[in-house]
Each structure stands twice: as structure tokens, then as C-alpha cells.
Amino acid sequence: MANGIRSTLEWLECSLCKAAFDVDEVQTLCDRCFGVLLPRYGLEEAARTLTRKALRDRECSMWRYRELLPWVNEPVTLVEGMTPLLPARFLGQSLGLDRLFIKDESRNPTGSFKARGMSTAVTMARDLGVRRLILPSAGNAGGAAAAYGALAGLSVELYLPVETPDPFRLEAAALGASVHLVDGSIADCGARVRAEAGERFDLSTLREPYRLEGKKTMGFELVEQFDWDLPEVVVYPTGGGTGLIGMWKAFDELERLDLIPAGKRPRMIAVQAERCAPIVKAFLEGRKRAEAWPEPVTYADGLRVPSAVGDYLILAAVRESGGVALTVSDQEMADSQLAMARGEGIFPAPEGGATLAALKKLVERDLVDRGERIVLFNTGTGLKYPRIPGLKLP
């Protein structure tokens, strides 16, 4: 990549037993304890070139943070990231909040924040010699994997829940992926992938260590967009939790680089669907790990995740940040999806609607203050979901 700047990726660290793993070969979970592996960088080296000043002249994509991203030869990119942070004045006013923002991830390639993670994951897979990819998806990750796979010339095989709406299936097929439908949730899709992967490389959330790195750039961008400051509250729709864990990791790296002051991180709010809320349940019960949710039901496909391999990382980040985990019903999500669309002109995914529905509860419970900077994550476009409960197709 330009200017002789390289990735300072050095090794992978098991988030549980701290064992170290090599970045020169493909990796999955820790082979000793099944912990999630976290990429670690040479921060001293990164600090030499990744400065506030240097960033002013960098490209308008998440690859502007290239010292702290995983790549070897050249990123596989469709220009993802640097999504707008939009002031939500109307919604803010109606909730009595002065500084409400929406980070609009629907502007990414393939219409969701999943593009970020697939850009880094496919980059590393290709650079490490992988030719064939396989993954379970609720829809958005599949579309993104199909797109980046196509760009990199890798084959992509997807396992989607049979309930996945048509537009996701069409998108993946159009982009050349092979699509298999599974009677069950994304957990059942994951089990099928593990049974059938063979020689194919499994890109499942957090079982593959580099999707997280793309997602963490949402945290870097927030800091830049708030002019090297941090918002007080981040509201994030949590399925597998990669976005939330990634942003927490980003804040950690920026603190270590002295690019932000210590102790100023936002309260991280994890939002789940009322009928699929393993993380919220564990949060409320004071547990470190979550139990699998028996019958996950929600029209927000990205939140229909009954168990997350990174459950302990999500719970730790939420607690450390002083945040909370809470649920919203499908109807609350739908009403808020429309409120965001009609109030701010953004047609959000149901998951984006969920963040606004959760914010209403935070306001009611006095868990946010009027003057705080609050960021709702609209993680994807509403265009791929064919129904909104309560809204009739005209």
C-alpha cells in the first residue's frame, strides 16, 4: 500500500488463556481453550505514522487506519467505512436530548456494517492462500462475504436460515455465492458449516479472527468524527457482538497510542430482541457467560443469534464501560424503524430501529442525560427486509 506504510499486525492472543498464535497461517478459535483470538499490533511502530496529522490526508475509507488493520499484500476493498455521523435533531428534540447522532452504516458496500469485517477477513484469507470460503449468516454478512469473495476471486458458500428474506438470498446468488438454506437459526447454520467445511475456510463471526478488526474501525471513526473526543453513550444492536467488542478494542488501542485520554470511553449499550436475548439475560443475572437461547424469534434477522462465541467479551465490555444490556420487542423496533425513517430520512434495518427503541427506554429510566453525546448505530439498510410489523404495503 502507499507510502511504504505496512500493517503492524504481530500475533494473535487468546482472549481467555492468553496463548499466542502465529499470523502467518490461518487461525480459528484457541486450540487449547476455544477462546476468541484477538489480533495484536506493534503499537510503538504504528504510533510513528498513525498520527492525527497524517490521518487528515488519508483516504476516505476504513483503510485509513491501515497500520492497525490486518493485511499483507494489499487490502481487498470496495471503499468501506467512513460512514456519516448524522445529527438526529428531530428525534433528539422529541426525546429531550440535545446531542443525538446516528452512525449510518447502511452507506457501506452491500448496505451494512458487515462490509467492514469482510474486507479485512477476505484480505487475510486471500493473502494466506485460502481459495474457498464458507460461513453461516443471517443475511447481511453473507451478502458482504459474497461481494468481497467475488472481488478477490474466492468461492463463497453460505448457510442461511430458511426464514432469511429473499433480497439477501438474491444478492448473495447474484454475487456468485452458493446458497444453502437451513431449517433453524444461525446457530444451526453454524453447526452445518462446521460439519461440512472440509477444506473450506470458515469465516464464522469471531471463529475467524479478522472480521473483528474491520468492525473496530467504527470506533476509530467515532473518535475522529467527534474531533478526537469520545461520545458518552453508544447504543449498539447486538447479535454476535463483533461490532461492540471491536469498538471496545479500538478504544483500547487508541488509549495505548495516546490518541485519546484514558478513562473517557463511552457507556456501551447492548440491545437485543425480547424473544432472543441471551446477553441481556446473562447481564441481568450477573453472569460472565450466556446460556443459549432456546427458541429465538425476531424479524430482525441480525439479532436472531441464540448463542455468541464472544458472549464473555460482550458482557465484559458492557460492564467495564458502565453500560447496560436491554431488550426491545419486535413491535417497538418496528415503530422506531418508522420513527427514524420519518424523523430523520434514514430507512434503517430493524436492528437500527432497535437502538432507537432502546434509547426511549434509557430516557424513561433516566439512564442518559440531556446534554450527553449519544450515538445510535444503524447497522444496515432497511431495504433488504420485506416487512415491518404493523406497516401495510401500499
**Residues that bind ligand PLP in the complex, under the rule CB under 6 A:** 112, 138, 140-141, 205, 237-243, 302, 349, 351, 379-380
Strand 233-237 with 373-378, pairing: parallel
In 3D, which of 72, 103, 67 has the Cα closest to residue 88?
103
Which one, 19 or 55, has the nearer CB to Zn ion?
Answer: 19
Q: Rounded to whole angstroms, how far apart are CA atoms 75 and 127? A: 9
Work out whether the CA dihedral 219, 221, 223, 225 comes out positive or negative: negative
Q: Which does 30 bind (CB under 5 to 8 A by kind): Zn ion, ligand PLP, none?
A: Zn ion
Residue number closest to ligand PLP, CB atom? 302
359 binds Zn ion (CB under 5 A): no
Q: Rounded to whole angstroms, how far apart are CA atoms 132 and 145? A: 11
Q: How far is the CB of 144 from ligand PLP (least distance, A)?
A: 9
Q: Return the residue of 9, 14, 95, 254 that touches Zn ion, per CB under 5 A.
A: 14
Q: Rounded to whole angstroms, how far apart are CA atoms 275 and 122? A: 33
In 3D, which of 280, 278, 314, 308 has the Cα closest to residue 293?
278
Q: How far is the CB of 228 from ligand PLP (least distance, A)?
A: 25
Q: How far is the CB of 309 from ligand PLP (least distance, A)?
A: 10
Which one, 86 or 259, has the nearer CB to ligand PLP?
Answer: 86
DSSP 176-234: T-EEEEESS-HHHHHHHHHHH-TTSEE--BTTBTTHHHHHHHHHHHHHHHTTS---SEE
Q: How far is the CB of 378 from ligand PLP (least distance, A)?
A: 8
Which one, 8 or 119, has the nearer CB to ligand PLP?
Answer: 119
Q: How far is the CB of 69 from Zn ion (least distance, A)?
A: 23
Q: How far is the CB of 211 from ligand PLP (least distance, A)?
A: 9
Q: At CA 39, angle to CA 223 and CA 133, rounded to 5?
A: 105
Single-letter amino acid code for the residue at 342? R
Q: Which does 309 bind (CB under 5 to 8 A by kind): ligand PLP, Zn ion, none?
A: none
Which one, 35 or 237, has the nearer CB to ligand PLP?
Answer: 237
Q: Rounded to whole angstroms, how far apart are CA atoms 334 and 356? A: 10
Name the strand (E) or helix (H) holding 235.
Answer: strand 233-237
Which one, 140 or 204, has the nearer CB to Zn ion?
Answer: 204
Q: Rounded to whole angstroms, how far apart are CA atoms 239 and 66? A: 27
**Residue range at the interface with Zn ion (CB under 5 A); choices 35-43, 46-54, 190-198, 208-216:** 35-43
Q: Return the residue of 3, 17, 96, 131 that touches Zn ion, per CB under 5 A.
A: 17
Q: Rounded to whole angstroms, how far apart are CA atoms 232 and 243? A: 17
Q: Return the residue of 3, 20, 22, 32 that touches Zn ion, per CB under 5 A.
A: 32
Q: How far is the CB of 130 from Zn ion (least distance, A)?
A: 23
Which one, 14 or 146, has the nearer CB to Zn ion?
Answer: 14
Q: Which does 379 bind (CB under 5 to 8 A by kind): ligand PLP, Zn ion, none?
A: ligand PLP
Q: Rounded to whole angstroms, how far apart are CA atoms 34 and 17? A: 9
Query: For residue 52, how many other CB atoms are within 10 A of its CB?
Result: 10
Q: Return the residue of 21, 23, 27, 35 that touches Zn ion, per CB under 5 A.
A: 35
Q: Which does 297 bind (CB under 5 to 8 A by kind): Zn ion, ligand PLP, none?
A: none
Q: Which does 35 bind (CB under 5 to 8 A by kind): ligand PLP, Zn ion, none?
A: Zn ion
Residues engaged in binding Zn ion (CB under 5 A): 14, 16-17, 19, 30, 32-33, 35
